[in-house]
Structure 1
Amino acid sequence: MSVNTPTLITFLIYIAAMVLIGFLAWRSTKNFDDYILGGRSLGSFVTALSAGASDMSGWLLMGLPGAIFIAGISESWIAIGLVIGAWLNWLFVAGRLRVHTEHNNNALTLPDYFTHRFEDHSRVLRVFSALIILVFFTIYCASGVVAGARLFESTFGLSYETALWAGAAATIAYTFIGGFLAVSWTDTVQATLMIFALILAPIMVLLSTGGFEPTFAAIENIDPTHFDMFKGATFVGVISLMAWGLGYFGQPHILARFMAADSVKSMRAARRIGMTWMVLCLAGAVGVGFFGIAYFAAHPEQASAVSENPERIFIELTKYLFNPWIAGVLLSAILAAVMSTLSCQLIVCSSALTEDFYKAFLRKNASQKELVWVGRAMVLLIAVIAILIASNPENRVLGLVSYAWAGFGAAFGPVVLFSLLWKGTTRNGALAGMVIGAVTVVFWKQMGWLGLYEIIPGFLFASIAIVLFSRFGQAPSRAMIERFDTAEREYRDA
């Protein structure tokens, strides 16, 4: 038997279970609302874990531990920023968005919500927001495909090209079949697997290096600055890392979980569950990268793969420290992280193409069955494009994620916040904010000005544009204000 046989069997069992969930969800998918948003039926537990799993992609088990392994604890500013941003998102956006989307023509997608919230009869908001989703999510999907390919490449010795298709196939299968319900149910399983792996792995690394004191002493001998939160830090650098938290307000795949909750009353419990899960997972990921410094210093003969690509650190530690059967379960956590995020991104892209282009412009009277099948076809289309983007083996997961995260955060984040918190926001304000946010991210990324993460100027300029264009343009209609007030009252009374 090959040394990888237990891991292979574990992977196959895991993938088969996910596809089975897809078939079960298929039986519950009666119409396009079910396929795209699960019929707004998610309870607090599924809402919380699904939002967490869809957020924490392969970046959690590959990108973050790799960054910590190279630079030390100073890279954990990203994790701190993400925790603050996620908590504020649950607090200010989650419940309100659930209510406001229902009051605005029971909107199923963000473009649909923007269209009805701002009474955009020209539908330019719908088109532009759907285009933003397609552009940045295709890049985001590519990051998931890269992470999956790295996993299969490292675990089974496949070529990068073969691993690329193998890693994406299972996710495409259950997303295609089961839609949003399959994605949400599998997310819950995957979130459980991820937290199990991220609690167990750093504990095993610590045990293998002799506990906290010997581990910390070894890291200090290698480089004492690994303990310095401000190592090589500048004000711009720390702010850029913390600013990842701003991205939460505009991520369509996370916001869709809020929209799909069974009621606004579920949000309080969901927030507590989701934040506890997130903090434990991020702490585990930081621990894997940090303690891994000591482990590979003590075992330099095992460090070649990590030296070549630090994002493989979780994979390599798991292979060396665990029984092959347990390793298979833990490595499935990376597959879980990749699949959970990639699947919900495919669904959001599919909904944008189907609801916001096909139905809105081509087939207004299309049947529910037709829309479901068009949605499935769009899943395949976006998946193939993402695989083509990911085909460059030099791609890094964190780099792809950071670009897409900034794009959504700047283009949608301010618009979502203003639409929920300020009744004076107008269509022109929303459109200006969206355009300026997206364009700023693209240009700032290309120019690299000041070394500042592009989400910061994008978010700032978009917010200023929303206020200016709303203040000095046509005022919101009475119907818009009444809908806003009704939704806000319902939210506060819940």
Structure 2
Amino acid sequence: VEWFLFMYYAKRLRTFSERYDCITVPDFFAERFDDKNGSLRIILVVIFLVFMVSYVSSQFVAGGKAFASSFGLAQNTGVMITAAIILLYTVLGGFLAVSLTDTIQAFFMIIALVFLPIIAIYDMGGWSIVMGELRMQDIGFVDPTALGFGAFIGFIGIGLGSPGNPHILSRYMSIDDPKQLKYAAVVGTVWNVMMAGGAILIGLVGRAYFPEVDMLPGSDTENLYPLLAQNQLHPVLFGIVIASIFAAIMSTADSQLLVAASSVVRDIYDKLIKKDEEIPQKTLVLYSRIVVVLLVIISLIFGLVAQNIVFWLVLFAWAGLGASIGPTSILALYWKKTTKAGVIAGLLTGTIVTMIWYFVPVLKNNLYELIPAFTLSWLATWGVSKITQTPDKLEEHFEELTRE
């Protein structure tokens, strides 16, 4: 999925965005389907806000847990400190600052995720010792075939969320030179494989090191990473691990806040409410900062209420955005017969199915909601597009752009 996005999807999205001066994801959909009444913009912004609040709140809670397990602070205090830090530099810095800090933070993340499991395995006596301990606990920890079919498909299908998450798409749209995408594909794919592999190793080593969940603070498995680092590493290296945790949190939350705020201000206020007026750039920036503050407050409140489900909040938000925007954006970029009605059907189907699947235990426990929601959203977009008509003008624009 990563390779497809960088090599094909991102290039075409960048071409469309540059031609029609699209800054946000709703901009792209509005221009692609001549959304004169603003219905696409409104639906997309609502979807952003619903799932982004869940996503950002989960980052705040993760920061609170890191503060609690590493420095002994109360978790609520840690959540509020995390929110304050992210708010401060997101509001003051903007997109350029976020891009630069994300690059620096990525190095902290890769160092911690690669070196922590290697050092921990060495200190425990080697890979064979770790595997032996895991076998004694449960043979399923070392047997890839022990995964159920639903879990296996869910793991594989997580990648489907990437083409639907706007904080990822905004980076594709803003790249300076599309020719650099092939280099980004290599770096991004290798980087993600290394980080994912490191995270899996940390989970396996952590299970061997802490056989019982009661050995973790609050019996919370999400405290494993900092506690393992604290037990295994020199204080300087432990500091790098803690920095990597906050790097992951901040690099995700800041991008999501900026994307959500810019969509509200540009796509609702500028393009719909004040569409016939020239709004000064300073005013738009001010309003964007106000929206960021409001989103942080809402996400903070939600995070303080739902503190024990960080992992599930992330998966829920990833699924909701991926299942609604992913199929519709792919078809919008690659199928000229895609219609506005089809996209609306796909957006609503992906959102509704994600929510229903997530809140029905018998469904959620058997298959990750992204898979059925993505599939049904794709079918809805395709099916409704087949029975509705695409204006000739839009087909001509599509063919012109795809020839470039």
TM-score scaled by length of structure 1:
0.78
Distance 1:449 1:216 in 2: 33
Match of 2:336 in 1: 423
Cα offset, 1:272, TM superposition:
0.2
The corresponding residue for 2:7 is 91
Give the aligned residue type for 2:293: L
Count of equivalent residues: 400
Mapped contact 1:179–1:347 kept (Cα < 8 A): yes
Deviations 1:259-317 (A, max 9, x none): 010121110000000011111111111111111222234xx8x9622570111111001
Residue of structure 2 in register with 1:309 after alignment: 220
Secondary structure at 2:178 match in 1: coil
Q: CA deviation at 1:483?
A: 2.2
| In structure 1, C-alpha distance between the alignment counterparts of 2:368 and 2:207, rounded to whole Å | 27
1:189 paired with 2:100, answer no
Alpha carbons 1:98, 1:263 under 8 Å: kept: no
1:31-110 residue pairs with structure 2 within 5 A? 85-103=1-19, 105-110=20-25
* Aligned mates of 1:224, 1:470 — CA distance in 2: 49
Secondary structure in structure 2 of the residue aligned to 1:316: helix
Residue 157 (structure 2) pairs with residue 246 (structure 1): no
Q: State whether residues 424 and 476 of structure 1, in contact with CA within 8 Å, keep that contact through their aligned partners in structure 2.
A: no
The reply to whether residue 455 of structure 1 matches residue 370 of structure 2 is yes
CA distance in 1, matches of 2:294, 2:307: 23
CA distance in 2, matches of 1:329, 1:431: 45
* Mapping for residues 367-378 of structure 1, pairs under 5 Å: 367-378=280-291
**Corresponding residue of 1:257:** 171
Asked if 1:331 corresponds to 2:242, the answer is: yes
Write the distance in 2 (CA, Å) between the matches of 1:216 and 1:468.
49
Mapped to 2, the partners of 1:322 and 1:189 lie a distance apart of: 22
SS of corresponding position for 2:144: coil
- Cα distance change, pair 112–393 in 1 and its aligned pair in 2 (3 A): closer
281-290 or 91-100, which deviates more:
91-100
Q: What residue in structure 1 maps to residue 195 of structure 2?
A: 281
Report the counterpart of residue 432 of structure 1 in structure 2: 345
Aligned with 1:265: secondary structure? Answer: helix
Query: Using the alignment, how far apart are the partners of 1:307 and 1:208 within structure 2?
Result: 25
Distance 1:137 1:322 in 2: 35
Partner of 1:383: 296
Give the structure 2 partner of residue 141 of structure 1. 56
> Does 2:316 correspond to 1:403?
yes
In the alignment, is the contact (CA less than 8 A) between 1:425 and 1:476 conserved in 2?
no
Write the mapping of 1:134-283 to structure 2, written as runs, cut at 5 A. Answer: 134-231=49-146, 233-283=147-197
Aligned partner letter, 2:190: T
Deviation at 1:414, TM superposition (A): 0.7
The match for 1:130 among 33, 45, 55 is 45
Moved more, 398-407 or 461-470: 461-470
Deviations 1:6-41 (A, max 9, x none): xxxxxxxxxxxxxxxxxxxxxxxxxxxxxxxxxxxx
Kept after mapping to 2: 8 A contact 1:318/1:330: yes
1:489 matched to 2:403: yes
| 3-state DSSP of counterpart to 2:268 | helix
Q: Which runs of 4+ in 1 moved over 4 A?
A: none
Provide the rounded CA distance (Å) in 2 between the counterparts of 1:267 and 1:486.
Answer: 22
Instruction: Please state how far the C-alpha of 1:160 moved relative to its aligned partner.
Output: 1.7
Once the two structures are superposed, what CA deviation does each residue of 1:219-246 show, in whole Å capped at 9, x if it has no partner?
2223222101132x33223212322111
What's the CA shift for 1:393? 5.7
Instruction: Give me the whole-angstrom Cα distance separating, in 1, the residues matched to 2:291 and 2:392.
Output: 36
Note the C-alpha offset of 1:204. Answer: 1.1
Contact 1:208 1:295 (C-alpha < 8 Å) held by counterparts: no
CA drift at 1:100: 1.1
1:460 shift after superposition: 1.5
Aligned residue number for residue 468 of structure 1: 383
1:199–1:280 contact (8 Å) kept in structure 2: yes
1:353 is aligned, of 255, 259, 264, to: 264
Structure 2 spans left out of the alignment, 5+ residues = none
Q: Secondary structure at the match of 2:73?
A: coil
CA contact (8 A) 2:61 2:307 kept: no
2:269 aligned partner, one-letter code: Y
Residues 61-106 of structure 1: per-residue CA shift (max 9 Å, x gap): xxxxxxxxxxxxxxxxxxxxxxxx3233223311111111112x21
In the aligned structure 2, how far is the partner of 1:425 from the partner of 1:393? 39
Same amino acid, percent of matched pairs: 36
In structure 2, distance between residues paired with 1:199 and 1:206: 12
Question: Aligned equivalents of 1:239 and 1:174: distance in 2?
Answer: 38
Residue deviations 1:167-195 (CA, integer Å, cap 9, x gap): 12111111101111111110000111100
Asked if the contact 2:324/2:351 (under 8 Å) is kept, the reply is: yes
